Chains A and B, each alone.
Chain A
Amino acid sequence: MTVTPPSETLAGYSFAYLDEQTKRMIRRALLKAVAIPGYQVPFASREMPLPYGWGTGGIQVTAAVIGRDDVLKVIDQGSDDTTNAVSIRKFFARTAGVRTTDRTTEATVIQTRHRVPETKLQAGQIMVYQVPIPEPLRWLEARETETRKMHALADYGGMYVKLYEDIAHAGRITTAYDYPVMVNHRYLMRPSPIPRFDNPKLDRSPALQLFGAGREKRIYALPPYTPVKSLDFADHPFSIERWDERCAICGAGDSFLDEIVTDDRGGRRFVCSDTDYCSGRVAAGHRA
């Protein structure tokens, strides 16, 4: 699939489902979020026709920024064909009639859950992340009243203590995904549950990166070229995971690999999680 043609929109509903007042409200929150990178802006999240926890924050952000000329890509776990990605892409094809694609390079808006594409993003592209829990301090402090204070005071010592305790107990930091980052030297931020592997892609990305948490009613953003640093210590620098294997389809050795169980005797294959990246390499003649 390359770019699909635009289609008719759903009768009786606004362009991209949300009414214009709601979009304005979300855009105001987005502007504030862009002005204060990494800061969680409360917004009056609406009930969507898809369940909370299934991307309602990302969908509202996408609905607020998408225009008729945009080309939308939706991925879940790196793939355009996972059921929830299909469902969300269909939702916008129905309600906004926009063109859709599975090519990272052709998309102007990319809504994602749990991955950042392997293909480098470009200036002018917008990444929209679906966020389940926006608060990086939540596992340390359950109360919103407290965590807001901690952000206001940049009181992030607790997070460093947690990481230190990981190292003291286990010899290494035991956070594999949703690994906390410091944004623009000021706000601690959850990058959404992307694997640690994807964290470096957030740093100084030329794309505008928007994060929407519908159920928790928060929006935050990384304007293009914002410095994003994964927390670490001088003697325990941040590192990403590596595989001994290469992709069994395209032979890539630089992408995040999914482990596919092939039998009940321990058989495994490893393949690219980013299906567009993988098929692009195959089309270019790469093989395992």
Chain B
Amino acid sequence: MYVAVKGGEAAIDAAHQLLAEARRGDPGVPELSCAQIDQQLALAVDRVMAEGALYDRGLAALAIKQARGDLIEAIFLLRAYRTTLPRLAVSEPVDTAAMTIERRISATFKDLPGGQVLGPTFDYTHRLLDMGLADDAPRGEAAARRPSRASEADAGSMPRVTDILSDEALLETERDPGGPISDLTRDPPSYPAPRDARLQALARGDEGFLLALGYATQRGYGWTHPFAAEIRMGWAAVEIVPEELGFGVEIGDIQLTECQMVNQFKGGDGKPPQFTRGYGLTFGHGERKAMSMALVDRALRAHELGETTDAPTRDQEFVLSHCDNVEASGFTQHLKLPHYVDFQAELNLIRTLRADFDRNAAPPDAAEAPAEPETAA
């Protein structure tokens, strides 16, 4: 045949075979188990669950394994699976104030009810490669501990910092506007998007993208005067109210990271001077994402708070249309698909334009050439 446009089917099958081999790597190295990924690459699992928008550690671990550790690919796998699932129930709002805390810090109060709880954090580690981990030898095993709700301190003793501020009316009060909650997986986006739709999009949004945007707000592109009032990570109960029962039933605990940024606000539009807030929430332990989300959430409230909307971080359409990495990755990589026809059409056009250009730029006759400027005598 004249060109490799035939045989696509065989080529695809062969590519899949190579992919399977590449995924496995050297067969002399033991196969990685999903349980190992779940336990030892737990933060990767957390990210895939958060941006894949499905709380299932086992499936997220499987997706990471199948995707060879490419987390965006794993997120895509989980999303494509998620969209086929039936919706059995809608949960009640999760009460993060009643969370079983593993970590809770505030950057605004030195001490506060419940105290500061560092928990498992990289924050104060010195980033020195631990050569001791390299030999894969078993460590002196620290007893595995995952706090169960019952074993921890009484949740009521750890109020949210934002609730403490609210008592003084220095923090804006947020009310549930009522009405049905947006569902960005069931309704096409429309702008301006209400905050619930925005928060949904940000919760699924790409960590890297939100990190960069959040960082940009700190450097002046939509400055929001933020303070990390509180970051808490722990386990919260999920409750549903089955119609036939009429009362709430706990169906399990999920691990969450919540970040509440408070932001100075001088007042305006009839609103008193107070602190406003930006909110971030992720599945699992995802502080970088939760903080970025909170910064961007606050930036996107610019319009509502009468601030200028000139920075891209404050532009709903810019942020929400581009924060989803499954969409972004697909469309960026679609450039790999054949574009022979469009390219041919452009080739024809450029050749025509070039012919026009060359005709117009043809060197004039010597007779018409401008005289050399006379040199000074």
Of B79, B80, B188, B338, which one neighbours A84 at CB under 8 angstroms? B338
- The answer on a CB contact under 8 Å between B8 and A81 is yes
Q: Mark B1-19, 1 if CB is under 8 A from A, else 0.
A: 0110111110110000000
Once bound together, how far apart are the Cα atoms of A82 and B186, in whole Å? 33
Residue A241 lies at the interface, judged by CB distance under 8 Å to chain B: yes
Given contacts A42-B190, A47-B83, A52-B326, contact A77 B347 (CB under 8 A): no
Known: A51-B333, A174-B353. A76 touches B6 (CB 8 A): no
- In the complex, B348 has a CB within 8 A of chain A: yes
Complex CA–CA separation, A216 to B283 (angstroms): 27
Interface residues as binary, A108-127 with B (CB distance below 8 Å gives 1, 0 otherwise) = 00000111000000000000
Interface residues in B, total, Cβ within 8 A: 49
Distance (whole angstroms) from the CB of A140 to the closest CB of chain B: 15
Q: How far is the CA of A147 from the CA of B329 in the complex (A)?
A: 25
* With A145-B191, A197-B345 as contacts: A81 and B82 at CB distance below 8 Å: no
Q: Which residues of chain B come closer than 8 Å to A86, judged between CB atoms?
A: 8-9, 12
Q: Does A254 contact B (CB under 8 A)?
A: no
- Contacts of A79 on B, CB cut-off 8 Å? 5
Interface size class for chain A? Answer: 35 or more
* Given A13-B84, A87-B12, A259-B347: A195 touches B186 (CB 8 Å cut-off): no
Q: Tell yes or no: B122 within 8 A of A by CB.
A: no
Contact indicator per residue, chain A 80-98, by CB within 8 Å of chain B (1) or not (0): 0111111100100000000
| A residues in contact with B191, CB < 8 Å | 143-145
Instruction: Determine if A157 is an interface residue (Cβ-Cβ < 8 Å).
Output: no
Q: Out of A13, A81, A132, which one reaches B331, CB within 8 Å?
A: A132
- How far is it, in angstroms, between the C-alpha of A44 and the C-alpha of B190 when the chains are bound? 11
Any A CB within 8 A of the CB of B275: no
B247 at the interface (CB under 8 A from A): no
- Using a CB-CB cutoff of 8 Å, which residues 236-280 of chain A contact chain B? 241, 243, 248-249, 256-260, 269, 271, 273, 275
Chain B residues with Cβ below 8 Å from A217 are 188-189
A177 to B82 alpha-carbon distance, docked (Å): 36
Contact call A257/B344, Cβ cutoff below 8 A: yes
Residues of B within 8 A of A (CB): 2-3, 5-9, 11-12, 76, 79-80, 82-84, 185-192, 317-318, 321, 326-327, 329-334, 337-342, 344-349, 352-353, 356
Closest 4 CB pairs of A and B: A52-B330, A53-B334, A51-B330, A53-B331
A interface residues, Cβ below 8 angstroms from B: 13, 19, 42-49, 51-54, 56, 76-79, 81-87, 90, 113-115, 132, 142-145, 170-172, 174, 176-178, 193-197, 215, 217-218, 241, 243, 248-249, 256-260, 269, 271, 273, 275
17 pairs across A/B with beta carbons < 8 Å?
A48-B83, A52-B327, A77-B341, A81-B8, A83-B338, A84-B337, A86-B12, A132-B334, A144-B317, A145-B192, A171-B353, A172-B352, A193-B339, A215-B330, A215-B331, A256-B341, A273-B340
